[in-house]
Structure 1
Amino acid sequence: MNHRFARLLAVAALSLTTSAFAAVGPGAAAPDFSAQASQAGKTISFSLAEALKSGPVVVYFYPSAYTGGCDIEAHTFATEAAKFAAAGATIVGVSADSIQRLNSFSADPNYCAGKFPVASDPDGKIAASYDLELSAAVANAKDVRGDVIDHGFIPRTTFVIGRDGKVAAVFSSELDHLHPQDHVSKSLTIVQQMKNAKAP
């Protein structure tokens, strides 16, 4: 079996081993969290409560850095980051990746490009607070670089949280059959609508 085929199998396994049960739905209070995160290759501390002081927050959970769909999603968020900022919104990605993997991913110009933080949730505690289940690691799974993925996977799910701390919308790739880039376009539309609703 060649390495490319092995990686394709690993990526396929991500979609087969994750399931989303996002019971934290629109109108519910978004669970607060603080976590070690990375932005532009540097380790930082991310606080949802602090971020909400500046405006809405898009919290997007994803299975793993350096895998096909997650790479597309991160790149798309980075490409549209200025539009989110113009709407007063903060973006943060959350996965079970180690902070070491995220330091590389967050700085990679092909993916996060230093445009937003990505937080590490190795035990799936943040995901669990949003009613998302961390699945078991897939044996011998490798990322697009050929490195072993030694962590479990969080289902691709995006929460748009208003400045009031309540969930405005939830998008799930599994339940809503969305492509990774759809999470970006849909959440951008909502935060722009929030801004327009406040305009005089």
Structure 2
Amino acid sequence: MQSRFIARFIATGAAALLCAGLSFYALTAEATLKPGDPAPDFTTQASLGGKTYTYSLADQLKKGPVVLYFYPAAFTTGCTIEAHEFAEAVDEYKKYGATVIGVSHDNIDTLTKFSVSECRSKFPVAADEDSKIIKAYDAAMPMHESMANRVSYVIAPDGKIIYEYTSLAPDQHVENTLRALKEWAAQHPQQ
């Protein structure tokens, strides 16, 4: 009897660990859009420094590369850490003519506050309440498709994706997108 209980416990525990491992893998799996793919165009409400406006990716790309990052939810621990890191790196992105925008499923009122407190009024955050942008960029959280996974893209002025990085961990997104942008800028000194 006791050995059957132990065997069942071990089997159940192994299954739980396998499920947890598969869930973790699903959450960290790479996004579908890859370098060379066209970046889906979008226009949406965004906030920068507490001021709401209409953001157009096409208009922004006319000015230079865009670092587009998706995050699950404003004011959560990982998303706050990531926003702080992007805010600290904005001047470095500007050296390469690039701008940054964050996108989440949050409403614009929440993002207006987030743009000031966590983004430190350094870059805009955009509302995607209907998750159309998230879905267009294959950036949905597995098993919760209305919420964004943590995915970062670098988009060249020609509208092509030049880099993609997916990881729920907030670290490395800034470092990796900056490195990709530097490599692109070295190959495109005129732009």
Report the equivalent of 2:4. none
Larger radius of gyration: 2
User: When the two structures are superposed, what TM-score results if normalisation uses the length of structure 1?
Assistant: 0.77
Q: Pairwise mapping of residues 48-197 of structure 1 onto structure 2 (< 5 A)? A: 48-108=57-117, 111-133=118-140, 136=144, 152-174=146-168, 179-197=169-187
Q: 1:129 to 1:73 in 2, by over 3 A?
A: same
Q: Distance in 2 between matches of 1:72 and 1:198?
A: 31
Query: What SS does the corresponding residue of 1:28 show, helix, strand or coil?
Result: coil
Unaligned 5+ residue runs, structure 2? Answer: 1-22
**CA shift for structure 1 position 172:** 0.4
**CA shift for structure 1 position 25:** 1.0
Which has more strand, going by share of residues? 2
Q: Distance in 1 between matches of 2:127 and 2:27?
A: 18
| Number of residue pairs aligned between Structure 1 and Structure 2 | 166
Residues 17-70 of structure 1: CA deviation (Å, up to 9, x unaligned): 957562211110010001100000010111110111111101100000101110
Please, what is the CA RMSD of the aligned residues? 2.1
- Correspondence for 1:27 among 20, 23, 36: 36
Q: Taking every aligned residue pair, what percent have the same amino acid on both sides? A: 43
User: When the two structures are superposed, what TM-score results if normalisation uses the length of structure 2?
Assistant: 0.80
Unaligned 5+ residue runs, structure 1? Answer: 1-14, 138-151
Which has more helix, going by share of residues? 2
